[in-house]
Each structure stands twice: as structure tokens, then as C-alpha cells.
């Protein structure tokens, strides 16, 4: 995608190139022959290369994706989920939580939101995404992590004060989301582009 500024620069470049082209075989690309993506990328400062954000961010996404998928299937099958510390009507009661009115928001089951969240985050936590200096990716990733944390705060509130039960499966998802928020936060800082001075 070429912005207006980038496109104008490209037009100037092409005009200049026609007068500067050295004697080379026809069709040989010049070093200055950049495509539009390259021109757009040239406007952005490069990120500081770090491998650990992707290594730290992808496992929670995969684990969260698995748990969210399981809870989604459970929801639509209408069966009681496997609850590690019990599901027998005590404080820990996964069945009570996943079948509560708060288990859906706007008619959509909460695990479906979880699936979408972890799928999105998985894409944004890949090494490619962490190498990208695209501000939409960098800010989108941080915003998604913040939304995830906001969501788990609401769900914890609902479990404690509205439903009155705790679901271990859901709590595991909450911990994963919080971990993802932390790694995304520090990863974003660690890979922030070096400041450039004129």
C-alpha cells in the first residue's frame, strides 16, 4: 500500500531513474528499484530484533486456543466440562460457571470470544509479526492484549460476585491471558524501534 507521500516519492524516483539509468542489460533491476511495499517500509524505522517475545507469546496462545476450543465444544454439546478441582456444587464448580447467564455475551458464548482472541493473538505473536514495524500490528497486538485483560477482569468479577462460583478451566484461560498481556507489554517495549535523530 502506497501512501500519498510514498507514491509522490516513487513518482519522483521513477522520473529521476529514467535519466540516471546506467548501461545495464534491459530488465536488470536497479538497487533503487523498490516496489511499493518497500517504499512504504522505508518510511518506518526498523524494530529492534528480539526472538523471545515470539517464543514467550506463542505457547500461551496455543494453550489458550486449546482450552477455548474445548470450552466451546462443551458449550454447544451441553455437557459438563472436566473440572480439575471438582464440579460438585462447591466454590469450584465449572458446570455452574459455564452454564450461567454470564457465559454468553450478546448471545455469543464467551468461549467463542476466547477462540477469536487466541487465534488473533497467535497470528500477532508469530516471529514475523514481532519483526514487523507496522504500527497497526504493533499497536493492534498491544490493544488486543489489553482488551483480553479487560475481559478477564469482567469474567473474574462475574465469577466471584454474580455466579458465586469459580471455574478452574476458565481461571487457567485467565492466567494465560494475563501472561500474554505481560509478554506482549514487555515484548513491545523490547522491540520498539530505535529513536532516530535528524
Residue 123 interacts with other proteins (CB under 8 A): yes or no? no
Q: State how far the alpha carbon of 100 is from the alpha carbons of 64, 76, 104, in Å.
A: 21, 14, 8
CA distance 13 to 83: 64
User: In the set 62, 73, 82, 91, which binds other proteins (CB under 8 A)?
Assistant: 91
Cell numbers representing residue 25 in the block = 542489460
* Secondary structure class of 146 (helix, strand, coil): helix
Is position 100 an interface residue for other proteins (rule: CB under 8 A)?
A: yes
Stretch 102-121: interaction string toward other proteins, x if CB under 8 A: -x------------------
Which residues, 6+ apart, have CB-to-CB distance to 123 below 8 Å?
Answer: 129
Q: Are 39 and 148 in contact (CB under 8 A)?
A: no
Quick check: 90 binds other proteins (CB under 8 A)?
A: yes
Q: Report the b/e string of 140-175 with b at 16+ CB within 10 A.
A: ebbebbeebbebbeebeebbeeebebbbbbbbebbe
Kindly tell me which residue out of 3, 21, 35, 44 binds other proteins, with binding defined by CB under 8 A. Answer: 44
Residues 6+ apart with CB under 8 A from 181: 145, 146, 148, 149
CB of 42 or CB of 66, closer to other proteins: 42
**Least distance CB 59 / other proteins (angstroms):** 19
Size of interface with other proteins, in residues (CB under 8 A): 61
Contact segment (CB under 8 A) with other proteins among 21-29, 55-63, 98-106, 107-115 equals 98-106
82 binds other proteins (CB under 8 A): no
Closer CB to other proteins, residue 66 or residue 101?
A: 101
Give the separation between CA 22 and CA 60, rounded to whole angstroms. Answer: 53
The yes or no reply on residue 185 touching other proteins (CB under 8 A) is: yes
Q: Report, in Å, the least distance between residue 21 CB and other proteins.
A: 13
Q: Which residues bind other proteins (CB under 8 A)?
A: 9, 11-13, 15-16, 20, 32, 34, 39, 41-46, 78-80, 87-91, 93, 95-96, 99-101, 103, 135, 138-139, 142-143, 146, 149, 153, 156-157, 160-165, 178, 181-182, 185-186, 188-189, 192-198
Amino acid at each position: 500500500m502506497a501512501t500519498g507521500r510514498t507514491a509522490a516519492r516513487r513518482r519522483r524516483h521513477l522520473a529521476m531513474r529514467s535519466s540516471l539509468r546506467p548501461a545495464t542489460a534491459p530488465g536488470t533491476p536497479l538497487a533503487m528499484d523498490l516496489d511499493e511495499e518497500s517504499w512504504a517500509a522505508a518510511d518506518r524505522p526498523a524494530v529492534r530484533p528480539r526472538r523471545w517475545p515470539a517464543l514467550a507469546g506463542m505457547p500461551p496462545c496455543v494453550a489458550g486456543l486449546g482450552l477455548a476450543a474445548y470450552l466451546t465444544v462443551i458449550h454447544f454439546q451441553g455437557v459438563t466440562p472436566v473440572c480439575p478441582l471438582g464440579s460438585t456444587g462447591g466454590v469450584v464448580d465449572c458446570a455452574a460457571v459455564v452454564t450461567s447467564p454470564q457465559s454468553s455475551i450478546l448471545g455469543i458464548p464467551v468461549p467463542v470470544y476466547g477462540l477469536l482472541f487466541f487465534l488473533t493473538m497467535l497470528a500477532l505473536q508469530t516471529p514475523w509479526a514481532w519483526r514487523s514495524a507496522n504500527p497497526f500490528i504493533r499497536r493492534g497486538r498491544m490493544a488486543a492484549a489489553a482488551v483480553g485483560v479487560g475481559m478477564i477482569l469482567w469474567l473474574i468479577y462475574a465469577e466471584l460476585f454474580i455466579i458465586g462460583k469459580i471455574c478452574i478451566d476458565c481461571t487457567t484461560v485467565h492466567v494465560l491471558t494475563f501472561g500474554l498481556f505481560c509478554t506482549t507489554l514487555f515484548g513491545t517495549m523490547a522491540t520498539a524501534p530505535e529513536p532516530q535523530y535528524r
